[in-house]
Structure 1
Amino acid sequence: MSDYLPLFPLKLVPFPGEQLNLHIFEPRYRQLIQDIKEGDGLMGIAVFLDQLKPLGTEVKLQEITKVYEDGRMDIKTIGTRIFEITTFDNPKKGKLYAGGMVVYKSNILKVNKALYDEFVFFLKEFFRLIGHEVDLTSSLVNSFTLAHKIGLKIEEEYELIQMEAESDRISYLIRHLRRIIPVMRELELVKSKIKMNGHFKNLDPLDF
């Protein structure tokens, strides 16, 4: 399935299902937001790293939370689906902002229970080590839900959206967690030793 989307290049990788709050200040993007507000509310966040990347994420405008006197605005959006850009018009004809034809990528959510349970196990350990409580009992937790919170580089986040199968994404995140959790455990041990060494100690005099 293909469509024509207004495109907003940004140096970030939004994920489907993720809330994304944006501060809009450039005139071209203020025009974009006004246009989608009056239309279907959809635009594409085109991922820009060292250059414009082929993949991006469609997001839906949920709310314009604040409009400033000078026209700037704060908006709330939510990621919907991943797309690949097939044509890029900068600017879109008759507009200040870019647009392009996109093809939506499939998103295969099926994953076997053993792999999913392993993923949740490592997530729990990661969040225990950083001292955050996260509810992982919900069936809504998938490979995208917490991916921005587990220390991925932006290039790794982009790798994640290139994968169409949930099992591939979860396997990728498990490998990442397997790499960083031992380092985090070592740091936790070091911190506990530093904390212990900071206390005053009562030392018995040695009897020579």
Structure 2
Amino acid sequence: MNDLLPLFPLDLVLFPETPLPLHIFEPRYKEMVGECLREKSPFGMVRSNGRTLANAGCTAEIVDLLRTYPDGRMDILTMGRQRFEIIEVNDERSFFRGQVEPFSDDEAALPAPPELRTSTLEMHGELTKLASIEQVQFEEEHPLLSFQLASNLPVDLDFKQTLLEMRSERERLKVLLDYYSKVIPKLQAMMFGKKKAGGNGWVH
């Protein structure tokens, strides 16, 4: 990308091919989103803790303008598209813009074997059921299955940022599988404890 990419710093992580609804209310971001709508161009979602920006983010394409308000606020639906690294940040306008370098998974990275995809999907389903997270159907052969799964999890943002920056689907799925392997037994123990407490020590 030769042009400067408008940047939207928020304390969240957007993954490619995942949706993100946004309520736009700050004047500088109303200006930024307005330009993107007119030019049919993306902006960059980048994680920020209020003081610093992450080194990598994901472009957001505005796929629907859901609602406009008399004071200029907007509800929009975006879709994550292309990951990028920030080379340099430009602060000449009211909102940040960045010189960025797009990146994808390494071509030399080993593909994720079918059994890894199946195991990760199964454990994801088990975790979401235990945690009472909305069940979502996923395509097992989706090339970015790991991002689809991670976007459905209320996990630590550092964990999500690490996944975003990894350049191998195989390695991302292995990291997720390891996460499920550690968290599921803890959730099962919690459920067991609740059943005992609710039944005076007896499991129903």
* TM-score scaled by length of structure 1: 0.86
Letter in 1 for 2:168: A
2:11 matched residue in structure 1:
11
Letter in 1 for 2:190: L
Within a 5 Å distance, the mapping from 1:115-194 to structure 2 comes to 115-131=116-132, 132-136=134-138, 138-140=140-142, 142-194=145-197
1:197 matched residue in structure 2:
200
**% identical equivalent positions:** 30
User: Would the aligned equivalents of 1:2 and 1:104 in 2 still touch at CA under 8 Å?
Assistant: no
Q: In 2, Cα distance between the equivalents of 1:192 and 1:2?
A: 59
Q: 2:99 aligns with which of 92, 98, 101?
A: 101
Unmatched 5+ stretches in structure 2: none
Unmatched 5+ stretches in structure 1: 200-208
Letter in 1 for 2:119: E
What CA deviation, in whole Å up to 9, does each residue of 1:81-114 have, x standing for no partner? 21001111013xxx42211111011135931112
User: Would the aligned equivalents of 1:10 and 1:45 in 2 still touch at CA under 8 Å?
Assistant: yes
Letter in 2 for 1:89: N
> Segments of 4+ in structure 1 off by > 3 A?
131-134, 136-141
User: Would the aligned equivalents of 1:14 and 1:45 in 2 still touch at CA under 8 Å?
Assistant: yes
2:87 matched to 1:86?
Answer: yes
The number of residues matched between the two structures is: 196
**Bigger Rg, which one:** 1
Letter in 1 for 2:8: F
Using a 3 Å threshold, how does the CA distance of structure 1 residues 169 and 48 change in structure 2: closer, same or farther? Answer: same
Taking only aligned residues, the RMSD between alpha carbons, in angstroms, comes to 2.1
Q: In 2, Cα distance between the equivalents of 1:36 and 1:133?
A: 33
User: Would the aligned equivalents of 1:143 and 1:170 in 2 still touch at CA under 8 Å?
Assistant: yes
